[in-house]
Chains A and B, each alone.
Chain A
Amino acid sequence: EDQVTQSPEALRLQEGESSSLNCSYTVSGLRGLFWYRQDPGKGPEFLFTLYSAGEEKEKERLKATLTKKESFLHITAPKPEDSATYLCAVQEVNGQNFVFGPGTRLSVLP
């Protein structure tokens, strides 16, 4: 059974304090790994898709990387507006469903 875990569950950073979020997955074959950001009361907002180990993608202060067993979302010099829950999801090679992790709740304090 596909499993997706995320750590830490919650993270508090000072503005400018860089850190990384982890997404670990267990699938028989990875078709894609997706990162989303979700603000309270809103639907998830797409950030990145990664398809193969070694792949990296960047957007503003965010950088996502992928290995064979996990993905990291690196946040460089975060700002308070980066506060949100970050979700990762995986899609298996032979499946169509997205399996989501529980998310990491990030708070960036000014």
Chain B
Amino acid sequence: KAGVTQTPRYLIKTRGQQVTLSCSPISGHRSVSWYQQTPGQGLQFLFEYFSETQRNKGNFPGRFSGRQFSNSRSEMNVSTLELGDSALYLCASSRQRGPQETQYFGPGTRLLVL
């Protein structure tokens, strides 16, 4: 069974640009969550999508947005990039929503903003 895949794996952008990251969940998984990981702040929750609807959102500015498609694939967009957006962006999928569901993480997309 294939795991969570994320594309691209590495990305370099300059300040002010925008970026779109993609996540394909494990087959049959309908919930996708996004996280930002930095050395200073650790892993921080961005948002969760289920059935093409955002169900939860972390404490990030509106420059961070996402969406989910009918096949459960998800994209995350960051507009007007700032240097502080440099991070490893991780997505995780689970079969359903709810506390009993285990999240499985992808390898991440490493974004560098210059």
Contacts and interface: CB of A to CB of B under 8 A. Distances in A.
B86 to A, nearest CB: 15
B103 A46 contact: yes
B45 A32 contact: no
Contact of A43 (B48, B97, B106): B106
A93 to B, nearest CB: 8
B96 to A, nearest CB: 11
B17 interface: no
B55 interface: yes
Interface string A20-42: 00000000000110101000011
Contacts of A36: 105
B108 A43 contact: yes
A96 B42 contact: no
Contacts of B56: 96-97
A102 B104 contact: no
Contact of A97 (B58, B90, B110): B58
Chain A: interface residue count, which band? 20 to 34
A8 to B, nearest CB: 15
A103 B104 CA distance: 18
B99 interface: yes
Contacts of B108: 41-43
A44 B43 CA distance: 10
A43 B45 contact: no
A58 interface: no
Given A96-B48, A98-B103, 18 more contacts: A34-B103, A41-B108, A41-B110, A42-B108, A43-B4, A43-B106, A43-B107, A44-B105, A45-B105, A46-B105, A87-B43, A89-B43, A91-B99, A96-B55, A96-B99, A100-B35, A100-B43, A100-B44
